[in-house]
Amino acid sequence: MTQIVRNAATQPQPVPVYLPREWALSDTVRFLTADLAPAQQVRIWRGSLVGDDDVLVVLPVSADATTVAVVLNALGSAGREVESSPTIPTGGEPLVRVFARGAAALAVMRSP
């Protein structure tokens, strides 16, 4: 998750990243992103988004269909789930589900 946040912060046009509250406020995420400017810090997913800008929403792999529908609805017609989300190195299983809106957000997910 923090790698996604850091990649998003270093884009020519930084992309906001939303995480579930418990992840966004975790000591690990806060420590690994402490050096980022306030505008580049992780944001808490609260079920809605303002504006039509590029954005990423990261959810647990176990996110239920209702939560996924809320995210996709908030992202609008330009939003979609990113197929190549980070995986567990040993088994190739997804670590998280990532949803994106906009070309810059998709570029974050293509960067190493």
Closest CA to 67 of 88, 97, 100, 41: 97
pLDDT, position 18: 96
Query: Which is it for the CA torsion 57, 10, 1, 97, positive or negative?
Result: positive
**13 by DSSP, 3-state: which?**
coil
- Tens digits of residue pLDDT in 63-84: 999 999 999 999 999 999 998 6
Domain of residue 27, residue span:
2-110
Count of domains for the chain: 1
* Residue pLDDT, tens place only, 31-44: 999 999 998 999 99
